[in-house]
Amino acid sequence: MSNDEYDSPWKEAIETYFQECIEFFFPVAAEGIDWKRGYTFLDKELQQVVRDAELGQRFVDKLVQVWRRNGEERWVLVHLEVQSNEETNFAQRMSVYHYRLFDRYNRSIASLAILGDDRPTWKPNQFSDELWGCEVKFKFPIVKLLEYSQQWTELEASSNPFATVVMAHLKAKETRQNDQERKRWKLDLTKRLYEKGYQREDIINLFRFIDWVMRLPEELENSFWQEVTQYEEEKKMPYITSVETRAIEQGKIEGKIEGKIEGLIEGIEMGLELKFGSEGLTILAEISQIQNLEILRAIVTSIKTVNNLEELRQIYQ
């Protein structure tokens, strides 16, 4: 599964279960937050701060305004990294985001990173720079999803929604070359939602994540749904196979394509503005008319290498 296919389900999970995410991965931070006062996502503000920081590919970046238990207002930058390969300047990028946010808002920032890559030894948690006795060091907490594979019993016992998210993420990566095994785990994780006693809304939300990252070939997908339907009938809980939910599933292929197109165009918009400033957005209207995924992906790739907008136009005209 490519990185962009992990992006959307993780983004949705964090937005739906932000408190549970922090409690699961960063308990020290969670303990310091006054959850009763709520929190606010500041995605637009984050984009304004980092829009000119062309420091590698970004995935799920979240800036969230929270309140500390001592009554102070604080900002939390949650950077979710879900790429398969290590990124050499990741720690530098986290440092850049941190000081730009501090410079803009003059507030303490907590930068937190979740790493979903495949390399066990890649654990970038600090950036430093030194010249002639002048030294700057930036350290930030990270969690490595791969390490949770050694805590499977604890994951199964946990009722935190992000235990399910982590299990699905790990098994999606583990079964990339084995569709039969993926189907078995997809079914097991889906049944677990009922066994943990989640409410209907949570079962549907978490199943969306499982279904999104653990895609199956059509034949196995149909077999999976038959077994899920039988299981729900036995449980008398037709949650994810309800009429409205199943109707959504039947239209999923079209929806995924539309979602990809929308996501690619959003990425192109950001890339154009980063590379060419406001001038780059002048061709966004014509690009938005393109419905071919391969052409849109080619545009995304080419933005980094073209020298001007006319060169970019040649990619899709």
Please tell me the distance from the alpha carbon of residue 96 to that of residue 50, in angstroms, as a whole number: 8
pLDDT digits (tens, 9 = 90+) for 180-206: 999 999 999 999 999 998 998 899 889
pLDDT digits (tens, 9 = 90+) for 90-119: 899 889 888 888 888 888 888 899 998 888
Side chain identity, residue 103? D
> What b/e sequence results for 286-307 when a residue is b if at least 16 CB atoms lie within 10 Å of its CB, and e otherwise?
ebeeeeeeeebbebbebbeebe
Per-residue pLDDT for 128 more than 90?
A: yes
Other residues' Cβ atoms within 10 Å of the Cβ of residue 10: 23
H or E element that contains 54: none
Closest CA to 111 of 139, 71, 90, 82: 139
Q: 283 or 163: whose pLDDT is higher?
A: 163
- Domain-by-domain residue ranges, the chain? 3-147, 175-250, 260-316
Per DSSP, what are the bridge partners of residue 33?
68
Per-residue pLDDT for 4 more than 90?
A: no
Rg of the chain in Å (alpha carbons):
21
Please tell me the distance from the alpha carbon of residue 76 to that of residue 63, in angstroms, as a whole number: 6
Please tell me the distance from the alpha carbon of residue 189 to that of residue 164, in angstroms, as a whole number: 7
Q: Quote the pLDDT of residue 246.
A: 54
Q: Quote the pLDDT of residue 253.
A: 43
Go through the chain and tell me how many residues it has.
317
Q: 246 or 123: whose pLDDT is higher?
A: 123
- Which structure tokens are listed for 122? 């890649």
| Tokens 């959307």 -> residue | 8
For residue 307, the 8-state DSSP code is: S
The gap from C-alpha 265 to its chain's centroid, in whole angstroms, comes to 17
Q: Quote the pLDDT of residue 59.
A: 58
Per-chain mean pLDDT for the chain: 82
For residue 108, the 8-state DSSP code is: -
Burial class of residue 237, CB neighbours in 10 A (0-12, 13-18, 19+):
middle
Please tell me the distance from the alpha carbon of residue 37 to that of residue 153, in angstroms, as a whole number: 34
Q: Parallel, antiparallel, or unpaired for β 73-81 and 40-41? A: unpaired
Per-residue pLDDT for 26 more than 90?
A: yes
Rounded mean pLDDT of 66-79?
Answer: 77
Stated pTM of the model: 0.72
- Which structure tokens are listed for 288? 């938005």
> In the chain, what is the straight-line distance between the N-terminal and C-terminal CA atoms, in Å?
29
Say if CB 274 and CB 50 are below 8 A apart. Answer: no
Residues 164, 165, 171, 173: what is their CA dihedral angle, to the nearest 10 degrees? 180
E-strand stretches of the chain: 40-41, 60-67, 73-81, 109-115, 126-131, 134-139, 142-144
